[in-house]
């Protein structure tokens, strides 16, 4: 049964995920954008690309360096957010809202529950 889970979940690689039915929206966390600094270039995965959990599928670049963004869960790329490739600063300004990267049609929506919740992610940040 499709359900909308308004919880945000997180990965240790600083991606956030929100689930609506079996579609997961993915972005990078505010912590990540702050660590990266002003983003100058973003490359998103191709539509219909199949990814496995922890597979690098997007790239973000700051002045100084490039970083990979990983798929949090296995699935197929259903949608990408072109606004952030046009204007990477959207990610710096609103990483966990307008700055979403892509949407995945999940192979296994239940696997979403296995990801860290906000409290666990906040605790994880303390350890860094």
Partner 1 sequence: MSDSPSPIDPSALNHTPLDGWHRALGARMVPFAGYAMPVQYDLTGALAERCKGGVMAEHLHCRSAAALFDVSHMGQAILSGPNVAAALERLVPGDIIGLKPGRQRYTLLTNEAGGILDDLMVANLGDDRLFLVVNASRKEVDFRHIAASLADGLQLELQDDRALLALQGPRAATVLARLAPSTASLGFMGVAPVTIAGIDCLVSRSGYTGEDGFEISLPATGATALAEALLAQPDVVPAGLGARDSLRLEAGLCLYGNDIDEVTTPVEAGLTWVIGKRRKMAWDFPGGIAIRDHLDNGPPRIRVGIRPDGRAPARAHTEITAEDGTEAGEITSGGFAPSLNAPIAMGYVRRDLALDGTRLNLIVRGRQLPATVVPLPFVPHRYAR
For residues 1 and 63, which CB has a smaller minimum distance to partner 1 in the complex?
A: 63
CB of 14 to partner 1, least distance (A): 5
The CA–CA distances, whole Å, from 93 to 1, 37, 90 equal: 35, 11, 5
46 binding partner 1? (CB under 8 A): no
Out of 65, 119, 126, 127, which residue is the one contacting partner 1 (CB under 8 A)? 65
63 binding partner 1? (CB under 8 A): yes
CB of 34 to partner 1, least distance (A): 9
CB 37 within 8 A of CB 63: yes
For residues 61 and 107, which CB has a smaller minimum distance to partner 1 in the complex?
A: 61
Residues binding partner 1: what is the number (CB under 8 A)? 26
52 binding partner 1? (CB under 8 A): no
For residues 60 and 109, which CB has a smaller minimum distance to partner 1 in the complex?
A: 60
Q: Which residues bind partner 1 (CB under 8 A)?
A: 13-15, 28, 32, 35-38, 40-41, 43, 56, 59-70, 128
């Amino acid at each position: 049964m499709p359900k909308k889970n308004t919880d945000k979940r997180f990965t240790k690689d600083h991606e956030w995920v929100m689930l609506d039915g079996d579609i997961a929206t993915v972005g990078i966390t505010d912590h990540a954008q702050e660590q990266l600094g002003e983003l100058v270039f973003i490359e998103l995965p191709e539509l219909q690309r199949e990814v496995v959990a922890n597979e690098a599928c997007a790239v973000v670049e700051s002045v100084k360096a490039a970083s990979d963004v990983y798929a949090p869960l296995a699935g197929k790329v259903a949608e990408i957010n072109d606004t952030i490739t046009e204007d990477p600063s959207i990610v710096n300004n609103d990483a966990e809202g307008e700055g979403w990267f892509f949407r995945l049609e999940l192979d296994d929506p239940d696997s979403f529950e296995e990801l860290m919740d906000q409290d666990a992610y906040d605790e994880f940040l303390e350890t860094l």
